[in-house]
Structure 1
């Protein structure tokens, strides 16, 4: 499934519209070998487009989001595209505690924002992620290793502004083999453009910067590694 399919997605107000980060993650997903029946999990699912792509490749797909609107949209889109997807509501991995997956995809909020905590509601909940952009990323790095099966793969997309080295280091500390699978430079969108001067003051970008680098981090659980205990889920996003 490509982002062209987004024109055929149901997306109520407050549910994240697939964009450049979605497209890059879909491209990385397309390169993964997916055996028929492998269990996949898409966190921060929004419209469910990544879960649909995995299901079309033969995965036994699960999607999760904290937003009721996103959960409803993902369920409707699964029906619209004739895909079997289990859609759950809850904080990151909380709804699947004790389960294991061969593939996990995540497109979380990662845009640095002045507020120290993520918003509880509204469209900005889809992208605001604290002053360093890592409110959700750090939680993902802690929670996802516990639901990865041996040899399981995590694909997570983020901006270069939100600390790619920190993501790699956290996943490696959790026992995963982590590296950058893809990069793409894209112009700032409306939200990033509005915050460009603040990014400069924070030292997140050089003066005059008008673009960001999107990065997909790929991490793999060593099949011989000891499985970590399940950790409590972290707050997922209300996709916008």
Structure 2
């Protein structure tokens, strides 16, 4: 998730409510929402949103007639997603849990995810607190790699994974990992956005690691699309 601090103003524009401490929709959410709009979602399609946060993406898929499951590790996120589904009058099944753990053995036509992906100098991802929505270890891949490894087992034949993350997280590593799992993977969309407060606070560390150029002032976001042949 992009390293800007969540804002309730952006959420209200989208008709989304977020409880305190829940990640509110931002640039990365909008980018993934745009990618979702390009996909064929037939009535009755099975969709799962991993790390649903506000539930915006899950609700968007439900509006197109999909049967949607949403999962988040945070109690407040689960409550928020349920609230937003209720307000939108859409049926979304929301579970609290770690990625797809609450739905063992299930497969889907579409997997959506806006996972934590911001490289952090603090080491392992936090187990609690709002930073859990964006901090993802030194390389930002603590959750991204797990999704890449799970995707081949979650997707039905012809199924698609749509995942957004920062180029700081190493886009090529994501494509390689998904390809090794037998998926056809590509970057389907990208956008450059201003640094948010979290990245701004880490600029010296990120530049010291060679993740950012000395004069870079924007974060590059990518949508990864991977399809099960």
Is there any run of 5+ residues in structure 2 with no aligned partner, and where? 1-9
* 1:112 matched residue in structure 2: 119
1:184 matches 2:191 = yes
Q: Does 1:85 align with 2:92?
A: yes
User: What is the CA-CA distance between 1:147 and the residue it aligns to?
Assistant: 1.1
Deviations 1:80-131 (A, max 9, x none): 0000001011110111111110000000010000122100111111110111
- Taking a change above 3 Å as real, the CA distance of residues 4 and 190 of structure 1, as seen in their structure-2 partners, is closer
User: 2: distance between equivalents of 1:197 and 1:179?
Assistant: 31
Q: Which runs of 4+ in 1 moved over 3 A?
A: 3-7
Q: How high is the TM-score relative to the length of structure 1?
A: 0.89
Residue of structure 2 in register with 1:53 after alignment = 60
What TM-score do the two structures reach when normalised by structure 2? Answer: 0.93
Q: How many residues align?
A: 220
- Distance in 1 between residues matched to 2:159 and 2:124, nearest whole Å: 31
Match of 1:220 among 216, 220, 227: 227
Local SS of the residue matching 2:179: helix
Name 1:103's counterpart in structure 2: 110
State the alpha-carbon separation in 1 of the partners of residues 131 and 159 from structure 2.
Answer: 31
Q: CA deviation at 1:66?
A: 0.6
Quick check: 1:173 aligned with 2:180? yes
Please provide the CA RMSD for this pair: 1.1
Mapped pair 1:36 → 2:43: yes
Note if contact 2:11-2:18 (Cα within 8 Å) is conserved in structure 1. no
Rounded to whole Å, the distance in 2 between the matches of 1:172 and 1:24 is 23
